[in-house]
Structure 1
Amino acid sequence: MGSLIPCLDLNLIPDYSIAVTPKSEPKLEPLDEELYFSTPNPISNSDPNPDPNSDVIQEFSPVSDITGEESDVFSQYYRISQLFQSVFARKLPQHSDLTVVDPNSLAIVPQPEETGVSAAVLNYKKHSRSAEMIRVSTLAVEDARYFRNLVRTTRMLYDSLRIFSSLEDESGRTIGKRMRGDLRAASLMKSRGLWLNRDKRIIGSIPGIYVGDVFFFRMELCVIGLHGQPQAGIDYVSASQSSNGEPIATSIVVSGGYEDDEDAGDEIIYTGQGGQDRQLARQCVHQKLEGGNLALERSKYYGIEIRVIRGFKYERSITSKIYVYDGLYRIVDCWFDVGKSGFGVYKYRLVRMADQPEMGSAVLKFAGNLRTKPLAARPSGYLSLDISKGRETLPVLLFNDIDSDQEPLLFEYLPKPVFPPYAFQQLGNNFGCDCVSGCSSGCFCAQRNGGEFPYDRNGILLMGKPLILECGSFCCCPPTCQNRVTQKGVKHRLEVFRSRETGWGVRSLDLIPAGSFICEYTGVVLAREQVALFTMNGDSLVYPSRFPKKWVEWGDLSQVFSEFMRPAYPSIPPLNFAVDVSTMRNVACYFSHSSSPNVMVQYVLYDHLNILYPHLMLFAMENIPPLRELSLDYGVADDWGGKLAICN
């Protein structure tokens, strides 16, 4: 396993006589939304002495009794909502500045002797970050896989909490005043000690986080330890925590918020913090060499690499903005200059370090060009602009600039699986909803799924289940129904491509949010007896029963709620069929195999009721950036990047 080594190149000598360096206003991100819905931030953005390591999250204000319908005993969502409520009832009494007057009503009032910020903000000191700085040496494959899985599961938990928290707000069951779902999710995870990389301050690359990883929320950067400031643009170890009394910067967020910033990709002119009028987005006073500004200067002096995260508006984001990790930079120069507004500013020239993957922000821009003008962006290499020949809702491209292989053109494209005829045996006419204008949470199909629909209004999977029952041919609801996600076809532009490492693979030209439907795994479905005959001449089939139950990881809240129970309904028996893709197949057959995949299989029924033959629907387990290869765990031994022979 790769070792964790102390960051000794700072020549740090403890000197406890050095006074704490004064701190200036953090470099805030003007393009970010306000963190709170209904009340002003109790910690003013103009506070001249913020704590750069406090990462305070505002918690709930005094609350009233819970409202809303609570009669649906079958509702999985209602049960999760109750877990949200009960955890805050237990958590708040742990803090000296709050008292639970009536545990049943969950009414909370401040202690008489506590006023102001301390009565509104919960600062979890027990989970504060360490100041011990280390670097992580090169990791072995198994170690890299472990840390990647750790980051993925943490992000899945964060996404699940965020989604359920947002749904709770929509339903009217929110405790007290509204708080954004991303903030509440981060708060819950922090209170459980689930934030990553808190016990050590990692200098440079963080294990399990890849260059090009995409995030929709600033708080997620804090949760995984990539950038520890919810709003400030410079993250650093403060002088009071550093062993030699000097602040050291570790990461920055570049979002174009300061008028003197210049971003050329591999080279950045970054403006220091402080002295900006946020409303006018310009400097109004001179900056000082203190706090984050001094930390950047000291990082230049000691040669400390800086993690750079770019934040920018992105129309395909669920929040209209995204954050992309673009790798490591070094500060090669810093100086004091007169800015565009006539006030003094500190500037830092950062240059991207060599031998790193391509910047994620550059890949996003290139993918945008491919979506609109693929032949202009790539003049050569395309074998087909749509191997589905119009059978999918979006074209599926075929690209090969490696060799002369054209294998995917030899197969008939199959947009939907071919099931045995007896799978469609009708069981009566009382197996669908009668929602003519649109489905509601109390309709028949919702009850069949345990009381709630499995998707939110954006089509994001809320929680993995043994089986999802979508509205289908038995139902009266329109095609726009919220419970018809997978049968509407692909929503992302997919490309089959040739790779030197993995043979044929699949990538998306779009950013795929975690929990999104990607496509169906299709082929000719063979019953058990047919499988026995087919394999007499060699086994070349895909067995759904071998797919690991990755769905149990999506929406698993057991780390936060001890009462959480994984969904067990609707249940299905062991699957005894196989999928033959030797002559007819679709784009899913070219997904790479990995035991640490970014795609999972979710069983779904919608056009028939035979639970022995569910559809194999593929969902994203994480935010998948454009042009990153899609991978699936087929349940066979692998070398973390192998391929199934049948698909290559």
Structure 2
Amino acid sequence: MGSIVPFQDLNLMPSPSAAASTAASTAAAATLPLLTPKIEPKTEPFDEPVPTHQLEPGQNTPESLLSESAPGFFSNSENTPESQPPDRDNVYSEFYRISELFRTAFAKRLRKYGDVDVLDPDSRAIVTVNHQDAQLSNAVVPRIKPMKRSGELVRVTDLSAEDERYFRDVVRRTRMLYDSLRVFAVYEEEKRRGIGQGRRARGDLTASSVMKERQLWLNRDKRIVGSIPGVQIGDVFFFRMELLVVGLHGHSQAGIDYLPGSQSANGEPIATSIIVSGGYEDDEDAGDVLIYTGHGGQDKLSRQCEHQKLEGGNLAMERSMHYGIEVRVIRGFRYQGSVSSKVYVYDGLYKIHDCWFDVGKSGFGVYKYKLLRIEGQPEMGSAILRFADSLRTKPLSVRPKGYLSLDISGKKENVPVLLFNDIDGDYEPLYYEYLVRTVFPPFVFTQGSNGAGCDCVSGCTDRCFCAVKNGGEFAYDHNGYLLRGKPVIFECGAFCQCPPTCRNRVSQRGLRNRLEVFRSRETGWGVRSLDLIHAGAFICEYAGVVLTMEQAQIFSMNGDSLIYPNRFSARWGEWGDLSQVFSDYMRPSHPSIPPLDFAMDVSRMRNVACYISHSPTPNVMVQFVLYDHNNLMFPHLMLFALENIPPLRELSIDYGVADEWSGKLAICN
């Protein structure tokens, strides 16, 4: 079990060196023209307005925006069940309970220093420890307090592998809920007023506001210094508000997140994280070395117009340097194809090594901080994004050795599927015929209700025949993202009159992200994307040759590789699950599907999906889809992203239970 370590309260005056630094800064400022600087947070180029309270006149609040949505979304479309009570024993209560156990499990190891507890005398951190709060209590799970941000600084240390998996799953589920709410909120707003009508729908603000009201934001009970449990270096976020939801950064616009001096035990502010997104002209970013400009003195056009002062976030950065406290660095930059036109990526921990007052490019005085990245951390996520971008355009120039094929699909897919191996001499994926779509037996197309399709010549609406088959709603929003998983999805097909661009033909359009099959020392063959994949986005089909169970038994005797669709975990139920937000939410049960009684042979013909590895906490899910026939017993296996998947991060699926005959997991590779 790891520990949450409270910082010691030094309760000291600033050191002589710090005082000298401050005096030197003041003297430097005195040589410049005398103006009255602004006292304001450091703002960065921001693609979202401040949330909740800046709604347009007459605009619905985030709460009403969701509550007014169609009842069919929250309950079974066939039947409207009675409301269920909210789940009180949710994972977030457990999260806070374990946090308290972390605090107390290592209390006996702490040495006394005045009226505070100290784990490491070199940590030099500040804030008091409430000894009453540190008493161990196993009897009652603490009730979640109102969403007021704590002023207590702690550092999480010594997490075991099990702890890391637990907190990673907590963050993963929180982000999944956020994305589900965001996609649904945008869909409902566009449906209400029409696509392209009025201001852009702000589902990011709605999702964060609703989750805050439901007390579903993470890490609000303590202000964490250093790494956030469950957040990995390289994690990508499309919206600033999502950083607040997981506790990675605490301000929707300010570039410096810090504990104000008014909340600190000795009255000194402490910085915990910064966002670097090019908002200040004097910033210099070399990756591992960062020259960061303080806040204040800018006009509405982000131009420096006044001198900065050593106060607020500026003073917090200087105090963090003085006490040797690390800060989290998040980089934000424009990214083509992003749902918000911008991405934020967590790049790890940095130490502030120097601070000085200087004349900026605009001629006004600014504070500058030199940050160095702490060694021994994984590669920066921003560097991986840049590397993946170069791979998409010139793979052989970037990696001249290791590529076995630049397209194992032989141009059958919309985009190339690369094959990379710089570990050994295994060429196995080259020996199979590439299969774009699943091959069904002829009888599949003759059974079931064929010939029935919609007549939406100009495009489908929510009232067309195919929407009715889906329970009265389409499964995708207007951007092609999955609104919520279902037992099966009916897409428009060959019997429909709608055009190929119809919003209800998402998965049948084929591969859109550039995927790479690669050799890994840990998982054998695996799959990763060169593109950033959005949560809820379609990835590819899991293709093979369909066999009846009688045929499967014969094939399995020869040791052929078979996949059993009925053994995939029903992860589709997790995507779009709003049960923590709405007490009357019901997991979709319509359209229903019978137990799947077939297998898929991938021993000779397969596609890229067959190389995706197994994981109990996957980032990809299987969604059953029908479009070229209506036989419910033989759906297509379509893969969708459960979370935002950064470039070059391995894709994973939960293949489910073990094989009944061999006792092994049914994974073809």
Report the TM-score, using the length of structure 1 for normalisation: 0.83
- What residue in structure 2 maps to residue 129 of structure 1? 149
Change (3 A) 1:63 1:400: closer
Give the 3-state SS of the residue equivalent to 1:446 in structure 2: helix
Deviation per residue, 1:524-548 (Å, 9 max, x gap): 2111111222233457422111111
- What residue in structure 2 maps to residue 259 of structure 1? 281
Change (3 A) 1:179 1:442: closer
Alignment-mate amino acid for residue 433 of structure 1: C
- What residue in structure 1 maps to residue 526 of structure 2? 505
Give the 3-state SS of the residue equivalent to 1:301 in structure 2: helix
Change (3 A) 1:344 1:63: closer
- Residues 519 and 525 in structure 2, CA contact (< 8 A), matched pair in contact too: yes
- Residues 599 and 630 in structure 1, CA contact (< 8 A), matched pair in contact too: yes
Q: How does 1:165-314 map to 2 (within 5 A)?
A: 165-172=185-192, 180-279=202-301, 281-314=302-335
Distance in 2, Cα, partners of 1:428 & 1:526: 21
CA-atom RMSD, angstroms? 2.9
Change (3 A) 1:75 1:451: farther
- What residue in structure 1 maps to residue 39 of structure 2? 24
- Residues 162 and 184 in structure 1, CA contact (< 8 A), matched pair in contact too: yes
Deviation per residue, 1:256-312 (Å, 9 max, x gap): 111111111111100001111231x32211111111001101111111111000011
In the comparison of the two structures, how many residue pairs are matched? 571
* Greater CA drift, 156-165 or 587-596: 156-165
Alignment-mate amino acid for residue 147 of structure 1: F
Give the 3-state SS of the residue equivalent to 1:506 in structure 2: strand
Change (3 A) 1:573 1:12: farther
- Residues 75 and 588 in structure 2, CA contact (< 8 A), matched pair in contact too: no
Gaps of 5+ in 2: 15-36, 81-143
Give the 3-state SS of the residue equivalent to 1:230 in structure 2: coil
Distance in 1, Cα, partners of 2:211 & 2:12: 35
- Residues 59 and 187 in structure 1, CA contact (< 8 A), matched pair in contact too: no
- Residues 13 and 243 in structure 1, CA contact (< 8 A), matched pair in contact too: no
- What residue in structure 2 maps to residue 47 of structure 1? none
In the TM superposition, residue 391 of structure 1 has moved relative to its aligned partner by 1.2
- What residue in structure 2 maps to residue 145 of structure 1? 165
Give the 3-state SS of the residue equivalent to 2:146 in structure 1: helix
Deviation per residue, 1:217-262 (Å, 9 max, x gap): 0000000000010000000111111122111100000011111111
Distance in 1, Cα, partners of 2:565 & 2:76: 32
- What residue in structure 2 maps to residue 113 of structure 1? none
Give the 3-state SS of the residue equivalent to 1:236 in structure 2: strand
Deviation per residue, 1:408-440 (Å, 9 max, x gap): 111111111121221111545552101122111
Give the 3-state SS of the residue equivalent to 1:351 in structure 2: strand
Alignment-mate amino acid for residue 342 of structure 2: K
Gaps of 5+ in 1: 16-21, 37-54, 83-123
- What residue in structure 2 maps to residue 3 of structure 1? 3
Distance in 1, Cα, partners of 2:240 & 2:296: 20
Alignment-mate amino acid for residue 187 of structure 2: L
The one of 425, 436, 440 equivalent to 1:404 is 425
- What residue in structure 2 maps to residue 323 of structure 1? 344
Change (3 A) 1:344 1:463: same
Distance in 2, Cα, partners of 1:72 & 1:227: 34
Change (3 A) 1:301 1:206: same
- Residues 564 and 666 in structure 2, CA contact (< 8 A), matched pair in contact too: no
Q: How does 1:504-583 map to 2 (within 5 A)?
A: 504-538=525-559, 540-583=561-604
Q: How does 1:300-379 map to 2 (within 5 A)?
A: 300-379=321-400
- What residue in structure 1 maps to residue 86 of structure 2? none
Distance in 2, Cα, partners of 1:64 & 1:382: 53
Alignment-mate amino acid for residue 28 of structure 1: T
In the TM superposition, residue 183 of structure 1 has moved relative to its aligned partner by 0.8
Distance in 2, Cα, partners of 1:164 & 1:289: 44
Deviation per residue, 1:343-363 (Å, 9 max, x gap): 111100001111111111111
Change (3 A) 1:34 1:413: closer
- Residues 271 and 313 in structure 2, CA contact (< 8 A), matched pair in contact too: yes
Deviation per residue, 1:81-116 (Å, 9 max, x gap): x9xxxxxxxxxxxxxxxxxxxxxxxxxxxxxxxxxx
Distance in 1, Cα, partners of 2:223 & 2:488: 42
Distance in 1, Cα, partners of 2:658 & 2:382: 34
- What residue in structure 1 maps to residue 436 of structure 2? 415
The one of 507, 520, 526 equivalent to 1:486 is 507
Distance in 2, Cα, partners of 1:253 & 1:170: 31
Alignment-mate amino acid for residue 168 of structure 1: E
Change (3 A) 1:284 1:574: same
Distance in 2, Cα, partners of 1:11 & 1:266: 30
Change (3 A) 1:583 1:254: same
In the TM superposition, residue 168 of structure 1 has moved relative to its aligned partner by 2.2
- Residues 507 and 629 in structure 1, CA contact (< 8 A), matched pair in contact too: yes
1:155 aligns with 2:175: yes
Q: Alignment identity in percent?
A: 68
In the TM superposition, residue 207 of structure 1 has moved relative to its aligned partner by 1.1
Q: How does 1:627-642 map to 2 (within 5 A)?
A: 627-636=648-657
Alignment-mate amino acid for residue 33 of structure 1: D
* Greater CA drift, 447-456 or 176-185: 176-185
Alignment-mate amino acid for residue 214 of structure 2: R
Alignment-mate amino acid for residue 240 of structure 1: S
Distance in 1, Cα, partners of 2:2 & 2:145: 30
Distance in 2, Cα, partners of 1:34 & 1:633: 35
- Residues 76 and 450 in structure 1, CA contact (< 8 A), matched pair in contact too: no
- Residues 60 and 179 in structure 1, CA contact (< 8 A), matched pair in contact too: no
Change (3 A) 1:73 1:515: closer
Change (3 A) 1:63 1:266: closer
In the TM superposition, residue 199 of structure 1 has moved relative to its aligned partner by 0.8
- What residue in structure 2 maps to residue 33 of structure 1? 47
In the TM superposition, residue 573 of structure 1 has moved relative to its aligned partner by 1.2
Alignment-mate amino acid for residue 240 of structure 2: R
Change (3 A) 1:204 1:556: same
